[in-house]
Amino acid sequence: MTTGLHPGEAPQDPRPTGNHALPTQERGGHAAVHADNRTRSSVITARAAASFEPVGRSVATARSFVRDTLQGWGFADIVDDAVVLTSELVTNAVVHAGTSADVLCLRSDDGVRIEVADHYPEREIPLQGAAIDMGSPDREGGRGLQLCAALAGRWGVEYTPTHKQVWFQLELPERAVGTRAAGPALPAHLLPLADGRVRVAVVQIDRTGAINAWNEDAEELFGYAAEQVTGKPLTDLAAWPHTPGTSTGIVEALQLSRWEGSYGIRCADGRVTPVYASHLRVRDTSGEPSTVCLLVRDHERAVLQTPLRLAAADSGTTAEGQTTDPFEIFIGSPAPDDLDGLLQRTVERARDMLDADSAFLLLATDDETELEVRASTGLPSARQRFARVPVEAGPGRYGSARMPAVHEDLTVVPGAVPLLGGTGMRSVVTVPLKVEGRLTGSLGVAAEAPGRYSNEEALRLQFAADRIALAVESARLGELERLRRGSLSFLVEASDLLAGTLDRDQTLALMAQMTVPTLATWCAVYTIADQSSEPYLSYVLHEDEDRIDGLKALLSKIAPPDPVPTPGARVWSAPAAAAHEAALRTSMRSLGLGEPASASTGIGTTLATASAVGGETVVLPLVARNRVIGMLTLGKPSDEHFRQEILELAEDLSRRAALALDNARLYSERTAISQSLQRSLLPPELPHIENVEVEVIYRAAGEGNEVGGDFYDLFPIRDGAYGFAIGDVCGTGPEAAAVTGLARHALRLLAREGYGGPAVLERLNSAILDEGARSRFLTLLYGELWPQEDGSAILKVVCAGHPLPLRLRQDGTVEPAAEPQPLLGVMEDLELYEQTVTLDPGDVLLCVTDGVTERREGTRMLGDDGLADVLTTCTGLTAGAVAARIMRAVERFASDAPSDDMAILAMRVPGLQTD
């Protein structure tokens, strides 16, 4: 940067001259005047010029140059507006145009003119008189001209083939010479009221808080002689108005470099006298600090009270006579309609207003115990965003949140502002955002140099904070309401999805998919089988599918989090530490400083994984039925933090997910037990029968049921003889399956004891009746099969209330192979008989349960005749093909799923095979 300052002379016109000059466009509250005429008609009393390189740091340097120049000229009243306008215009030049910027400050007898020029000859030159389109006010650049129109008395744009120059003129406010602040002349009855002589008590407090000086006015006001109070703490006399929920008292106020406000003093007669006080902390020649307190009676506060510092727009109007909103002056018009945009605009304006290197804004949580970083500029925002610091107590305490504070050098008081640790910032000023006395946030600006700020800057920043506090709180409440509505909708949808499945794996997948990317960048679910088991990594999901494998490999190598049942999210640092360590080892190997890297793992994958899990990681316990069944782990990429609202939503989701996961576990366990028991009720395998084809198809009704009320069996009785059965117990489900097991095992046992068919069924009938209330009636077709040497087969069958078996001959005729007899489980005395059937080569015997014949579609039913019609089409088919065709016909008969168990047993005698 090069600068030049020449006070007291009329400088040469810095703009290029000659035939290359192009027309000037000027806008302002008065009639447009050519820029040259305007400049030359005023006497230039001082001039300062500087050039700035096209780098981002130049913007801050330009602000400092303009601020120092105008303060040196004694124009502190217009410094803020000039710095804001210069910042925007220099940003346009060095950042957006990418060229160096030339800044020229001109002082005249009626104001200050500042010119900013860039070197961007390719810029489009507008036609004379054409309307200027300033573009959208919300975009990143292009607000410089809008701010000029809002803040400057006059402004204009000039073009040459090599330069574009924007200038603005700021008028000096009229004020009495030599005064810092002044008010208008007032009638006598409007002047502040004082009781006779105004007494100003001067009290000096040493570093321990004890009184060591007490003047005569203090004796008159409060009734104590100096020797009565000297050495006593001021807190013994002060009636401090504590704010509920805060810890700020007079002890804290006496430690501040400057303080002003009201409290009470207990007088010698016991009364409390309200006073208005102004405190100034000083240091004597030996370096010993003390606080000087000036006190007057509260109704005489005008003697000490500092006049409110009003923004320029508060005491003035626009060129058109319209009053300007001070909020819009600070934020810009129109203000961003979203909270993040408003906060970001706030920190940028605060930084520019105090010529800072960085600025930050924190919002208080609902209980005001923590502050959460919501916006920053000049700081590593990704690392700081949504970070939280406690207000009252604990490590990293933010002790200056509730009152304005100025820190001249953070290296002397490390940790005073935890947000700035390790950022290189030295001096900082912070002020609270309060609405109706309630802390809602904190606004701060910081600089790399020490000693940059004083109480004057704190007052200016507090003025700005007071103007925006209500707007910020309103926007925050609006965002919170939208977030709560979205959270409620999210939880309702999540509950519906989780309740819609009882599959464990699907529940795990749903848990992860609901959190990524809505709540977190990545998610891992650990499950615990029982109290003696270690947590097991069951599911991993990342919003970038290419990162899932690397993330899963990383988490598999580190110990899982402890299954702590304490509700709420807790930070887990192990993944980030392991990722950074792995990335460091990989980087060293790539540089030849360690062991060679494996071919399967590249540095890109390791570094990407480290970046993916390098942010904040939290663990939420999955607690169901008073037992920790797992952990839900949520993570952010490098240097990112979770919002408190997101963690609360994740905690609510984890409770729902834990119950759904436990329900899925219980369902899976009970289903496995049920299926294992049901499978034990089915024949393990069908025996091979010489010269007889056998095929069975079985379908149990109901989800998760493998066995119902229908059953079948085929088993050897003795050499050359086989027993077969197909039956139907009344009802479906486990109750019917219990009778099924009784029937099947009883048939095998009785048949192998040598009983014939009628005797077997009669004894089974008695066993069913012995079950009492648990008994169910049973239809059963039981038979014995003897294959013959000539290729035929002889069958002896008993049909106890069951659908009759059908015999298919080779010529396609179908006929019943038995006669109906009474069913089992109803009457005690049964008289059953068996019938003999001979199957010739090529014949088929088809046995089914009533789930086949009673298949319905509306009022239609397949029935015995329908089954016979289908069987007539099966001539020449194998037993397997016959059973498959019957089942296909049953399934196609109706569109609805079967509501009853079905069993099909097909036996065919193919005849003797000849070579």
Average pLDDT of the segment spanning 551-559: 85
Query: What residue has token string 């006010």?
Result: 137
Q: CB-based burial of residue 855 (10 Å sphere; 0-12 exposed, 13-18 middle, 19+ buried)?
A: buried
Residue 245: pLDDT above 60?
no
The least confident of 173-182, 363-372, 523-532 is 173-182
pLDDT of res. 836: 93
The two three-digit tokens of residue 174, written as one number: 């009229």
pLDDT tens per residue, range 113-164: 999 988 775 544 444 444 444 444 444 444 556 667 777 778 888 877 777 8
What is the rounded average pLDDT of the residues 69-82?
80
- In this prediction, residue 904 has a pLDDT band, given cuts at 50, 70 and 90, of very high
Whether 364 has a pLDDT exceeding 60, the answer reads: yes
How far, in Å, are 237, 247, 290, 526, 657 from residue 293 at the CA level? 13, 21, 10, 62, 61
Q: Is the dihedral of CA 409, 412, 415, 421 positive or negative?
A: positive
CA distance 564 to 725: 57
DSSP-assigned states of every residue in 653-668? HHHHHHHHHHHHHHHH
Q: Which pLDDT does position 126 carry in this prediction?
A: 42
Residue 908: the pLDDT is: 94
| Of 102 and 396, more confident | 102
What pTM was computed for the model? Answer: 0.46
Contact between 681 and 689 under an 8 Å Cβ cutoff? The reply is no
Assess whether pLDDT exceeds 90 at residue 803.
yes
In DSSP terms, 699 is beta-bridged to 902
Residue 128: its pLDDT value, please? 40
The neighbouring-strand residues paired with 113 are: 106, 169
What percentage of the chain exceeds 70 in pLDDT?
A: 78
Q: Name the burial class of residue 375, with classes exposed (0-12), middle (13-18) and buried (19+) by CB atoms within 10 angstroms of its CB.
A: buried
Q: Which of 44, 172, 188, 165 is nearest to 110 (CA)?
A: 172
| Residue that wins the pLDDT comparison between 674 and 787 | 787
**140-146 long-range contacts, Cβ below 8 Å, gap at least 24?**
141/91, 141/92, 141/95, 141/96, 142/92, 143/88, 143/332, 144/85, 144/88, 144/89, 144/91, 144/92, 146/332
Strand 211-214 and strand 238-239: the pairing is unpaired
- pLDDT, tens digit, 9 for 90 and up, residues 560-593: 888 888 888 888 888 878 877 776 776 666 666 6
Q: What is the pLDDT at residue 556?
A: 85
**Whole-number mean pLDDT of the chain?**
78
User: Is residue 792 pLDDT above 80, yes or no?
Assistant: yes
Which pLDDT score is estimated for 835?
A: 93
pLDDT value at residue 845: 95
CA angle at residue 56 from 54 to 61, to 5 degrees?
A: 90
What is residue 311's predicted lDDT score, i.e. its pLDDT? 41
Assess whether pLDDT exceeds 90 at residue 408.
no
Range picked from 485-499, 701-715, 874-888 for highest mean pLDDT: 874-888
Which pLDDT band, with edges at 50, 70 and 90, does 241 fall under?
A: low
- Rounded distance, CA 295 to CA 237, Å? 13
User: Which residues touch 145 (CB under 8 Å, ≥6 apart)?
Assistant: 132, 134, 155, 157, 166
> What's the confidence (pLDDT) of residue 27?
38
Three-state secondary structure call for residue 572: coil
Reported confidence tier of residue 600, pLDDT bands at 50, 70, 90: very low
Q: What is the DSSP string of 498-515?
A: HHT---HHHHHHHHHHHH
Alpha helices in 714-871, H assignment, sequence order: 733-752, 757-769, 850-853, 863-871
Whether residue 39 is predicted with pLDDT greater than 90 in this model: the reply is: no
Judged against a pLDDT cut of 60, whether residue 518 lies above it is answered with yes
Q: How far apart are CA 173 and CA 315, in angstroms?
A: 10
Residue 314 has pLDDT above 60, yes or no: no
The DSSP-derived string for 666-727 is HHHHHHHHHHHHHHTTS-S-PPP-TT-EEEEEEE--STT-S--SEEEEEEEEETTEEEEEEE
Q: Which one has a higher pLDDT value, 181 or 43?
A: 43
Return phi, psi of residue 316, to 5°: -135, 180
Q: In the numeric block, which tokens belong to residue 412? A: 């002397």
Reduce the DSSP state of residue 14 to 3 states and report it.
coil
